[in-house]
A and B are shown apart, each in its own frame.
Chain A
Amino acid sequence: MMSSDADDPGRLRLVVRRRIRARPERLFRAWTEAQEFVRWWGPRGVICERADIDLRVGGAYSIANRLDDGRLVTISGAFELIEPPGRIAYTWHVHPGAAPGSRVVVTFLPLEGDETEVVVTHERIASAEVAAEHKRGWVGCLDGLAAFAER
């Protein structure tokens, strides 16, 4: 599912959902502990070489993605919200790249039978907000737009 106002990129928002046969606690751990994260994070054609996760509000994370043509793309940002095991939010910047930064919110909704619905909401940060982030010292590094996504 996705929604957009194509003429207003600042409001762009993407929602992706998936039902997974595991409990929220299990998935929260997989998402937030580096040694687990590197074992599943790998969009097609990408090897996750390294993940550093400083899991506290304001803490930084960094994910090194090796593309199948050898290039290295790093995704990084800072945590804005940490509510185990239900929700986590962080900023998202891709280097090298040229598009504005964005924000990711991941929600783990418990379902019956030890299943979970994982909801990823990824939104572009409006330019006014990006300016504010700059003031707070978060360099709005430019988002290379997941060169790896379609590889």
Chain B
Amino acid sequence: MRPRAIRKPTAQTEHKLDLVFHALADRTRRTMLSRLMQGPASVSELAAPFAMTLPGVSKHIRVLERAKLVTRKPVGSVQQCALTPAAFESASVWLETHRSLWESALEGLARYAEDDGSR
């Protein structure tokens, strides 16, 4: 993509970001995305880690679909979910995931280095 000056996001971009951030604001949905980053999964595979009914899981998947992070299509007799290529490129997903990673890593470093007394 060609570099360009930072400009004010259009209303359409803002709306897309709203959907993405709403989708990411839920821990269950973030866990589902993490799973899908490893490859496609059926709805019941996605549901497995949660004590949740299939309709409940389906609702979460719909939120991810609306944000264009996930697509769902029938494969044989099951519904298979996959991340969209756009999801990998999503600035919001990238920032959110890595911010959380580094905050948690620096927390670990602080706990380690502040406790060992060898400053």
Interface residues, chain A, with chain B CB atoms under 8 Å away: 2, 4-12, 14, 16, 18, 20-23, 26-27, 30-31, 36, 39-44, 69, 71, 96-99, 114, 118, 120, 122, 124, 126-127, 144-151
User: B118 at interface (Cβ–Cβ under 8 A)?
Assistant: yes
| Beta-carbon contact of B101 and A12 below 8 Å | no
The one of B88, B90, B97, B104 in contact with A44, judged by C-beta atoms closer than 8 angstroms, is B104
How many A-B contacts if CB must be within 8 Å?
138
| Beta-carbon contact of A98 and B37 below 8 Å | yes
- What's the Cα separation between A14 and B98 when bound, in Å? 8
Stretch at the interface among B50-58, B73-81, B108-116: B108-116
Interface residues, chain B, with chain A CB atoms under 8 Å away: 1, 3-4, 6, 9, 13, 17, 27, 30-31, 34-35, 37-39, 49, 83, 88-95, 97-114, 118-119
| Beta-carbon contact of A146 and B4 below 8 Å | no
Nearest-Cβ distance from residue B82 to partner chain A, whole angstroms: 11
**A21-B119, A146-B98, A149-B98 known; A4+B91 contact, CB < 8 A:** yes
| Beta-carbon contact of A30 and B113 below 8 Å | yes
The one of A2, A5, A40, A42 in contact with B113, judged by C-beta atoms closer than 8 angstroms, is A40
Nearest-Cβ distance from residue A143 to partner chain B, whole angstroms: 8
| Beta-carbon contact of B98 and A22 below 8 Å | no
| Beta-carbon contact of A9 and B108 below 8 Å | no
| Beta-carbon contact of B98 and A122 below 8 Å | yes
